Amino acid sequence: MQEENTEGTPKKAKRFLYNRYSREDLQKRLDAEEFNRRTVSFYRYVIIEDPEAMRHRLYAMWDDLGCLGRIYIAREGINAQMNVPEHNWDQFVQQLYAMDEFANVPFKIAVEDDGKSFLKLTVKVRNQIVADGLAEDEYDVTNVGRHLTAREWNELMDSGEAIVVDMRNHYETEIGHFENAILPDAETFRDELPEVLDKLQGVKDKPILLYCTGGIRCEKTSAYLKHHGFENVNQLHGGIIDYARQLKEEELPNKFHGKNFVFDDRLGESISHEVISNCHQCGRPCDTHVNCANQACNLLFIQCEECAEKFEHTCGDECQEIIHLPEEDQEVIRKKWAAEGRTKKRYHKSDC
């Protein structure tokens, strides 16, 4: 659409480099689409001289292609989770690979994908692409561990000598993890790094196997461990996402149990189809993550279908009562809980 200037002649419409639609409108647009989308994630540690300019360039490029997703840009690189209309996939790859910073960056394609992984396109500039709290002299991302294929990973696991470490948060590991893995009891990557370092003291001579969702946290962890004197550090190339792809392509045995938590609207994709976790409200076997329907709470937790119906998609009696209040009363509660630090509590640790 064009606008007119003061002389009445057309001028180019202003380009908006951010989303301007409500969640309801975005959902309607997505539901009305008659084409498929491909969910993909990728990252790269690379120096980006002007992250703000890169952010604007990528947003404009991907908005033109109809891409949706959540992308972080920092001076140290890019971390992207997004979906791309399948009819624009080749153009998406061609444009991205034409940029020196991202040439031939490896993609991790979703295992289970209904094309509804994201509602909008968000590209943000951050200090780091993964918040770790580390000083610059505590790691060197040019000195990282050995990247393993799924076959090499399985072979090292079978050796019985390796120490397997899950570099994801506890709410991710609860629904799925590798056999006999160390599962840190941490809610953030920042908290997890020192905990893992402490747990691995005394085993510096053993092969360390690191894994995470798509590989980015292992990249930083392996550099961190090598800085602290670990020599035999290995990481699963492409993370759990690419491990699942390689299993299918090469017909390899699966050593991952349960579901892989993903950071989009799906909240998970099955790897082994085993259910190893329980509903946080009734204790039945369940591995479905949801957010509490009370927007003031927004708690992430595991809820079965029966409890979802019983509690109307909330985490408990208090929140169930709140969702039936008039909207103006709910707004007051949202502001009150935000001031008290109760808004968007990250996760409920299961007692089941």
The amino acid present at 121, given as its one-letter code, is L
Q: Which of 125, 102, 142 is nearest to 50 (CA)?
A: 125
Q: Which of 212, 218, 297, 319 is catalytic?
A: 212
3-state secondary structure 163-223: EEEECCCHHHHCCEEECCCECCCCCCHHHHHHHHHHHCCCCCCCCEEEECCCCHHHHHHHH
DSSP string of 307-350, one letter each residue: HHHHTTTSSSHHHHHHTTS-HHHHHHHHHHHHHTT-TT------
**Spatial separation of the C-alpha atoms in residues 200 and 278, rounded to whole Å:** 29
Distance CA 125, CA 137 (A): 23
Q: Give the span between the Cα atoms of 232 and 58, in whole angstroms.
A: 37
User: Has 212 been annotated as catalytic?
Assistant: yes
Residue 122: name the closest of 67, 174, 168 by CA: 67
* Cβ neighbours of residue 213 closer than 8 Å, sequence gap 6 or more: 41, 168, 172, 239, 240, 241, 260, 261, 262, 263
In this structure, are residues 240 and 256 in contact, taking their beta carbons and an 8 Å threshold? yes
**β-sheet bridge partners, residue 163:** 208
Strands 3-4 and 300-302: unpaired
The CB density around residue 102, as the number of other CB atoms within 10 Å, is: 19
Catalytic annotation, residues? 212
